[in-house]
Amino acid sequence: MTDDVKLLMLAGDYVEDYEIMVPYQALLMVGYKVDVVCPGKKAGDKVLTAIHDFEGAQTYSEKPGHAFVLNADFDAIDTDEYLGLIIPGGRAPEYLRLNARVLEIVKAFSDRPIAAICHGAQLLAAAGIIKGREVSAYPACRPDVELAGGTYADIPVTEAVTDGELVTAPAWPAHPAWLAQFLKVLGANVSI
């Protein structure tokens, strides 16, 4: 794998910390170049992250995370340069789905590898690319998936589901399954 194989990651303020940090670092580790962008921001700008945890309440808790440094300019993105798309969850997808250019970007990947986790399904639904597809997400996003014509995959929080070139998972505890399935869809050959 060489760093000329590029992936695009969509981020925004209050993206889930583990869902941006872990896939970013893991994909770099196996040789992909990962450009991380956010509307209205340039390379060197930061997005704030939030740490979501499962502590026995009816929904996740939220704590301050890190300041993640973006490494590419949103306005300069040419989707033709990228093999696949990564959409981390957290609160960012909720407002990113209001940005027309973000939705154009997601639609441009509808026939290429996409990995979306947690609330990332909100972007998939808003872009209209999940009709007739099996999609996992954080359980509170089930209505978004179903209203967009997708079939919600109610799977354990540690699992992921692949439908064609779309790989989705409920939350960060699924990273091992989600990233392994995404690498397979990308055609990567990882061995020890």
Which active-site residues does the annotation give? 118-119
Question: DSSP per residue over the chain, as a string?
Answer: --TTSEEEEE--TTEEHHHHHHHHHHHHHTT-EEEEE-TT--TT-EEEEEEEE-SSSSS-EEEEEEEEEP-S-GGG--GGG-SEEEE--BSHHHHHTT-HHHHHHHHHTTTS-EEEEGGGHHHHHHTT--TT-EE---GGGHHHHHHTTPEE----TT--EEETTEEEESSGGGHHHHHHHHHHHHT-----
Closest Cα partner for 181 from 192, 164, 169, 167? 167
Pairwise CA distance, residues 87 & 141, whole Å: 14
Tell me the torsion sign for CA atoms 19, 121, 106, 134: positive
